[in-house]
Structure 1
Amino acid sequence: MTDTDVTAQLSAYRRTIDNIDAALVHMLAERFKATQAVGHLKAAHDLPPADPEREREQIARLRALAEESHLDPAFAEKWFNFVVAEVIHHHEQIAATGSIETPAGPAPR
């Protein structure tokens, strides 16, 4: 394989990675829109921001999905815990102020 072939193959892989990263960002944005709606519902009904039982169920489900997909289940759990921590933070903000503060100001509802 020539250097030109390697460079072309590397560029193709990187374009694929870039497309996947873009899809992940869009999917996370949609996920957070849904969890913000949950946060507003919880705040309106004085429900706690966190739901440990739901989190345990989701971790078990995501670990199984990760195994089926040949992804490290520990990584899937770390990712989920990271996202849930942000969701709980959002729910706490919603309960306290009715909105989520972002660097650009309150998030649209």
Structure 2
Amino acid sequence: MTVPAELLALREQIDALDQQLFSVLAERFKVTAQVGELKKKFQLPAQDVAREAQQLEKTAKLIADAGLNAEFALRVQRLILDEVVAQHKQC
């Protein structure tokens, strides 16, 4: 079966977007690792519930502005925040 050129082009776009998405995510985790080291240095707790609430509120606005599925986007943000906390607990 021959794949239409338009489909191939869209798949290339998806691949490029995936690369960007994971590059940005990797960069985010590099920064949050630095946050974890500072928390350790200053003996701060791994989890900052107030900061997480602020992040989730910002995410809700970004979701609305971008027209994303709110439930999905908030699950993704929660997953990221949980991973950050887990990494901070390992510091």
Interval of TM-score (by shorter of Structure 1 and Structure 2): over 0.9
Misfit runs of 4+, over 2 Å: none
Question: 1:1-109 alignment to 2 at 5 Å?
Answer: 7-94=4-91
Structure 1 unmatched runs, 5+: 95-109
Percent sequence identity over matched residues? 38
Distance 2:51 2:71 in 1: 18
The structure that is helix-richer by fraction is 2
Structure 2 unmatched runs, 5+: none
Higher radius of gyration, 1 or 2: 1
RMSD across aligned positions (CA): 1.3
Looking at both structures, which has the greater relative contact order when contacts are Cα pairs under 8 Å and sequence separation is at least 6?
Answer: 2
Does the CA-based 8 Å contact 1:59-1:77 persist in structure 2?
yes
TM-score normalised by the chain length of structure 1: 0.79
TM-score normalised by the chain length of structure 2: 0.94
Matched positions, count: 91
